[in-house]
Amino acid sequence: MKGVLFFLGSIFRWPVQNTKGFLILHIYLLSIYGITFLLRKVGLEVSNLIFTVGLMAPIGYLIHNGLPLDCLNYKSAIKRELGSLN
């Protein structure tokens, strides 16, 4: 339960600590939704593929750039967060 509460708190702290990254992510997601909507209105059947690839691309990018294997371990996440405060 402590891990869930820690990550929930991290979600609430993230927009304040990294506003630029928060805005870039949400602009990206809104653009993927917009492109998918426009492609569906035009009648192209590739809209589902564009949506799926568009949502999976940030995860692939993070894994490619070395997403730590312990990213969901709350004890190591606390150590990283406390280290970034100093």
pLDDT for 86 equals 59
Q: Give the distance, in angstroms, between the CA of residue 60 and the centroid of all CA atoms in the same chain.
A: 11
pLDDT for 56 equals 92
pLDDT for 68 equals 73
pLDDT along the chain (86 residues), means of 10: 76 85 92 94 88 90 80 75 67
Contacts of 68 (CB under 8 A, 6+ apart): 76
- Confidence (pTM): 0.68
Identify the sign of the CA torsion 51, 26, 21, 71: negative
pLDDT for 82 equals 73
